[in-house]
Amino acid sequence: MKKILLLIFVTQFMVGQTINSPNNKHVLSFWLSDEGTPTYDLKFAKTSVILPSKMGFKLKDQPSFEKGFTIVKVESSKVNETWKPVLGEVSEIRNNYSELKIYLSEKKEKERKIILTFRLFDEGVGFRYEFPEQDNLKHFVVSDELTEFNLTGDHKAYYIPGDFDTNEYSHTTSNLSEVNALVGRRTGEIFPNWNLAENIVQTPVMMKTKNGLYVNIFEAALINYPALNLEINKKNFSTKAILVPDAEGNKAYLQTPAKTPWRTILVSDDARELLSSKMILNLNEPSKIENTSWIKPMKYIGIWWGMHVGTMSWNYSDVGNVSLKTTDWKSLKPNGKHGATTENTKRYIDFAAKHGFDGVLVEGWNVGWEDWFGKWKEDVFDFVTPYPDFDVKELQKYAKEKGVEIIMHHETSASVSNYERRIDAAFKFMNENGYNAVKTGYVGRIIPRGEYHDGQWMVNHYVRVAEKAAEHKIMINPHEPVRPTGLHRTYPNWLANEAARGNEFNAWSEGNPPEHETILPFTRFLGGPMDYTPGIFEIKMDFYEKGRTNQVHTTLAKQLALYVTIYSPFQMAADLPENYNRYLDAFQFIKDVPVDWDDTKILEAEPGDFITIARKGKNSENWFLGSITDENKRETTIALNFLDVDKKYKATIYKDGADADWEKNPKSYLIEEKTVSSKDKLKLKLAPGGGVAISFIVN
Ligand code: NOJ
Ligand code: CA
């Protein structure tokens, strides 16, 4: 049911404005300072959350846009409606907010105009700048955004280093007065990365005040604008926007009418409310794709982990130094490790068909991998030429017979100009050969040289790819893109993103600490689904090679729990089929768990410590629960009152063994079955770095 109540008040010459959230908990005030600078503050339950903070811009080659304003007009309105996401954590979303729109004009000189829109939701605030069409502002360049978020005290913060090119970091936790983003920077591990100042962090930045308020600063609907970092003043806890620049140091090239993304502040005294909030999605535009019937969730396996653990290669031969223009690929000597062979792909298709997976990702199917990495080379891949041992037509036929989709892989090696030149041919190739989803990738330094992964030009590129993919009825899953900001509402074919430090880091680096997956829901996941690639059962990499110390920093049971705590409609079972074959009882949970949901209950949450979530499958009566902890063991009792009162369920509990420990004994797990109802409570025991996964199947 859709209900919109729209009230508009037009007020002339008002000085200060106040607006409340529908539940009256959040109160935002707006005023012009004596100098005519737009200023706001925010209270939650009468407690100050954001102290007076300025808004505005510095523009290139013209006076800055920060003072001398007068209020021309004020409008307020309310919206209360519901909408249905194509894929999601819940089947219906309420969009309920109060809006205040403030029309400003410069008093003197050029009388340039700007509109500020504030939306207050029960969970927080979104605000954005609009530059209406006007005579004295047409094309212009933003050289700095001056938005401040001045915090009230020395909050505990969870953050990753500010950067222009990557977000593949683990989090650092410290008070604001001790912020040191450089701690999280591991030189040489990620390429490329930046050495910004120690007090510049990426958004979303998660905070907790001494009084137990949870505060999160982020953005929504990032289009035609660079991503938002924050500079933190360690003495007075003021913070200011730092936008990702281009090679010239410019931030955004705009033409009126234009608008910025929403700046968002989520606030609650209950951490769970941040995770159930749909504010970021609500601040995005509805779907631009009218017919969405071809958009489907996908649980998939892939020729992938083998490359990360080193048993397979992307490249066909070991020659190195090849050229897309001149190499005769058939003449290359195979290295014997190539993963994407016809035979191996058939083996994966068989496994997918047997165990009910929708798709098989195949990386390394196309020529170019001999010489793809780290050279800032223009023509690396063409996205249409298979290696000699990968038979596209034969595999298309085979996959179709088995009812499995092959998932395309387009590693661009960050040569984005090359990708844009070839994308029509690449998507046409996909249509002709029966591929309906693509994992894209942007490893390396961006070409056009001087652009960054998170700058305005690339932000527009990711959107262009989503739009073009939609024209071809293709679903996308970019790796190494800018972090998502809810655009999957507008482009529901944008199933997932990487844009954070995924499970793969555990294969070849110092990995992700046990707390990692308990922080991500409060940071990166607020913007949208992540292709984290859970489900690793062979936790320790010395399984592949004696002496290797890399390992996944969880227990096996926690890998199962991640299928519930990490929402993604594009979700991988990342380990090798032969590894799953040795643990078929535990693998059953991955087979059973859905990736698209009718309902979600955040049962417990504390950033950096633990998360417990229950979800109900799409068009299903069955529920699934995932509970994870950080490096500390944990005991908790969960009331099953989310279950349907009239039903009995068979609960299958996949838990840590009594002696399990992420470091010492990660593969110790137990599976227990019970009949339960909504009146029952379950006591859960999680090992250090552990987890519990439960399926509740209606009896
Ligand atoms: C990095 C991606 O995150 C990973 O999943 C992929 O296998 C490699 N790039 C190669 O494209
Ligand atoms: Ca990556």
Q: How far is CA 141 from the centre of its chain?
A: 28
| CA 597 to centroid of ligand 1, rounded, Å | 27
Helix (H, G, I), strand (E, B) or coil at 330: helix
Q: Kindly report the number of other CB atoms within 10 A of residue 546's CB atom.
A: 6
Query: For residue 12, what pLDDT is reported?
Result: 44
Token pair recorded at residue 500:
């954070």
Q: In one letter, which amino acid is 175? A: N
Strand, helix or coil at 71? strand
Mapping DSSP to helix (H, G, I), strand (E, B) and coil, where does residue 27 land? strand
Q: What is the dihedral of CA 118, 121, 123, 129, to 10 degrees?
A: -20
In this structure, the residue with its CA closest to atom 6 of ligand 1 is 441
Residue 5: its pLDDT value, please?
45
Residue reference for tokens 């005290």: 153
User: From ligand 2's centre to the CA of 567, what distance in Å?
Assistant: 18
> What is the whole-number distance in angstroms between the Cα of residue 168 and the centre of ligand 2?
7
Task: Report the pLDDT value the prediction gives residue 109, as an integer from 0 to 100.
Answer: 72
Cα separation, 429 vs 386, in Å, equals 11
Ligand closest to the CA atom of residue 438: 1
| Cα distance between residue 385 and residue 330, in whole Å | 12
Catalytic site includes residue 545: no
**Distance from C-alpha of 657 to C-alpha of 408, rounded to nearest angstrom:** 38
Sign of CA dihedral 580, 581, 582, 586: positive
Q: Residue 28's beta-bridge partner residues?
A: 19, 42
Does the CA dihedral 66-70-72-73 come out positive or negative? positive
Report which ligand 1 atom has the smallest distance to the Cα of 441. Answer: 11
For 84, residues 6+ apart whose C-beta sits below 8 A from its C-beta are 91, 92, 93
Which-ligand-closest: CA of 411?
1
Is 163 close to ligand 1, i.e. is its CB under 6 Å away? no
* Residue 384 CB-density burial (10 A; 0-12 exposed, 13-18 middle, 19+ buried): middle
Q: Is the CB of 504 under 6 A from ligand 1?
A: yes
pLDDT in the model for residue 312: 98
Q: Which pLDDT score, from 0 to 100, does residue 187 have?
A: 64
Check residue 320 and give its pLDDT: 87
Q: What is the DSSP string of 438-502?
A: EEEE--SS-BSTT--TTSHHHHHHHHHHHHHHHHTT-EEEEES-PPP-STTTT-TTB--B--S--
pLDDT recorded at residue 15 = 66
* Ligand 1 close to Cβ of residue 443 (< 6 A): yes
CATH class of 507-699: alpha beta
- Among protein residues, the one with the nearest Cα to ligand 1's atom 7 is 304
3-state SS class at 348: helix
Atom 3 in ligand 1: which residue has the minimum CA distance? 479
The answer to whether 366 and 385 are in contact (CB under 8 A) is yes
pLDDT digits (tens, 9 = 90+) for 550-561: 999 999 999 999
Residues (pLDDT < 70) of the chain are 1-15, 187-188, 191
CA distance to 620, 627, 645, 674, per residue, from 680 (Å): 21, 17, 11, 11
Atom number, ligand 1, closest to the C-alpha of residue 409? 11
441 lines ligand 1 (CB under 6 A): yes
Number of Cβ atoms within 10 Å of the Cβ of 255: 12
Active-site pick, 363, 405, 504, 515: 504
pLDDT digit string, tens, across residues 245-279: 999 999 999 999 999 999 999 999 999 999 999 99
Say if ligand 1 is within 6 A of residue 498 CB: yes
Nearest CA to ligand 1 atom 11: 411
CA of 545 to the centre of ligand 2 (A): 23
pLDDT at 1: 39
| Closest CA relative to residue 622, chosen from 598, 602, 587, 591 | 598
Largest CA distance in the chain: 77
Q: Please indicate whether the domains covering 2-282 and 507-699 agree at the CATH topology level.
A: no
Please state, in angstroms and rounded to a whole number, the distance separating the CA atoms of residues 361 and 470: 20
* 546: CB partners within 8 A, 6+ apart: none
pTM: 0.97
Q: What is the dihedral of CA 29, 33, 39, 45, to 10 degrees?
A: -30
Kindly give the distance from the C-alpha atom of residue 205 to the centroid of ligand 2, in angstroms, as a whole number: 21
Domains of the chain, by residue range, sit at 2-282, 507-699
**Third-level CATH fold of 2-282:** Beta-galactosidase; Chain A, domain 5 (2.70.98)
